[in-house]
Each structure stands twice: as C-alpha cells, then as structure tokens.
C-alpha cells in the first residue's frame, strides 16, 4: 500500500482514500499502525474510509481521532458506517479542521448537521446537480430546502442500492449514455425488475427537477419584463396564465 501511494502521487493524485483491510482483520492498534504507515509514506492528504458493510470491520471513533491528531496528512474520513451515534462521538474528539464526508447518499443531510463538509457520492454519478443542491442549500442556510432535496432523492438512492454497488449505478450511467461499460465477474448485470425500478425513479427525479426549473424560468421571465417595461402587468398576467394552464 505504501508503494502504491507513492505511485499514485507521481501520477498526479491529489490525495488518497484509505479503506480498511477486507480479509485480514486487524485490531484497532493494527488499523492505527496500518493507516499511519501509509499516510506517512506520502506527502499528499489522506482520507480514511470507514465502510464496515463492505469490509466486515469498523474503525472506531477513538482510532480515527488518534490518527487525525498524530498524522499530519490524515485530514478526515469518508463515513459509510451508518451509525450517527459513532459519527457524533468522532466529531466530539476532533477539531473544526477535521473533514467529515458522508459516504452514504441517504445520510448526506444528517452528516452535514454533524459538522460534515460534503459527500463522496454514488448518487452524484447520475444526479450531480441534485446531489450538489443538498449540500449547497445546507451551507447557504436553506435548511428546509436541503431537507426537501434529500427526501426527493431518496427513491433514486434506494434504487441505486437495490443490488450491490456498482451494479445499479453503472446501469443508470449506461442508460444516460455515459458508457460506463460492462461489469466484471463476480459482478453481474442488474436484474430486470431492479432495472425497471431504476428507470422509473430516475425519470421521476428528472421530472420533479424539470418542473422546478421551468417554474423558476417563468418567474425570471416575468421579473425581466417588469424590469424593462413598467406597464407590463397585463402582459405578465396573461403570460403566467398561459404557462400554468397550457
């Protein structure tokens, strides 16, 4: 791992994402020494990746906090643990410079409320604007808007995890014409029933966003007319009626 980190740096990597070992399980001290050795072998920033659902083991909050305080280029974590209690424990052990990223699209907003700075996302591959809006609205202080964006995206998020990742997201990207390519064994193509659900939910999210964009565009047109024409009220009223009814 240390050798690969240096290779990636030379090839232009801006940072490393360090996941827990997935076969040789370690103690928390073993994880500490493992991540410390990798991070100290390079000069670029490193983010820990805690995803016990995939690796079968978790980095405890105290271990992550110790690595952050002891190793200068370990700057944060991609949190896919799904346990907000542990996330809050972690945030109580670090300072404001710690970078907490959501690793679960269904928990973007809860992670942000715990002091998160963003998301390392699956959803953003197929709905980048919608994923961005959840974070942007939160940081702009539009908490209700962020909440609505998160809830609006949930059906698609669930469809993207109807089978093991990245099966559904590659299918969704191929549907969008992004040519994500085929899968390699042991991953297999998405089941037909899941593909149909994915199509419907992706389309539903697109319809909702298109309606919102159309409404905003209408208001922008009206505002521009009012700005340019002081006596345009009657025209604007007719335009509004026409847009809504037809």
Sign of the CA dihedral 20, 24, 29, 35?
Answer: negative
H or E element at residue 27:
none
Which of 49, 101, 137, 202 is catalytic? The answer is 49
H or E element at residue 186:
none
CA angle, residues 49, 51, 52, in degrees to nearest 5: 135
- To the query of whether residue 101 is one of the catalytic residues in this protein, the response is no
H or E element at residue 90:
helix 84-93
Within 10 angstroms of residue 231's Cβ, the number of other Cβ atoms is: 7
Which of 32, 78, 101, 137 is catalytic? The answer is 78
How far is the CA of 113 from the CAs of 109, 119, 149, in angstroms? 6, 12, 15
How far is the CA of 73 from the CAs of 41, 43, 97, in angstroms? 10, 7, 12
- To the query of whether residue 32 is one of the catalytic residues in this protein, the response is no
| Catalytic residue numbers, as ranges | 49, 78
């Amino acid at each position: 791992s240390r050798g690969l980190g240096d290779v990636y740096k030379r090839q232009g990597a801006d940072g490393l994402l360090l996941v827990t070992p997935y076969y040789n399980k370690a103690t928390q001290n073993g994880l500490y020494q493992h991540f410390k050795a990798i991070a100290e072998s390079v000069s670029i920033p490193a983010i820990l990746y805690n995803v016990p659902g995939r690796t079968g083991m978790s980095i405890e909050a105290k271990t992550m906090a110790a690595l952050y305080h002891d190793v200068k280029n370990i700057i944060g974590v991609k949190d896919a643990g799904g346990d907000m209690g542990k996330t809050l424990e972690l945030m109580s052990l670090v300072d404001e410079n710690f970078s907490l990223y959501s690793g679960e699209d269904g928990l973007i907003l809860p992670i942000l409320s715990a002091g998160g700075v963003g998301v390392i996302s699956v959803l953003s591959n197929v709905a980048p604007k919608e994923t961005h809006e959840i974070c942007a609205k939160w940081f702009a202080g539009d908490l209700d808007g962020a909440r609505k964006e998160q809830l609006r995206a949930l059906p698609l998020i669930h469809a993207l995890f109807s089978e093991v990742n990245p099966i559904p997201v590659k299918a969704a990207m191929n549907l969008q014409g992004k040519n994500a390519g085929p899968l390699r064994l042991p991953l297999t193509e998405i089941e037909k029933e899941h593909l149909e659900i994915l199509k419907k939910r992706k389309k539903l999210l697109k319809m909702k966003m298109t309606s919102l964009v159309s409404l905003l565009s209408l208001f922008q047109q009206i505002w521009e007319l009012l700005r340019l024409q002081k006596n345009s009220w009657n025209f604007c009223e007719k335009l509004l009626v026409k847009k809504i009814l037809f």
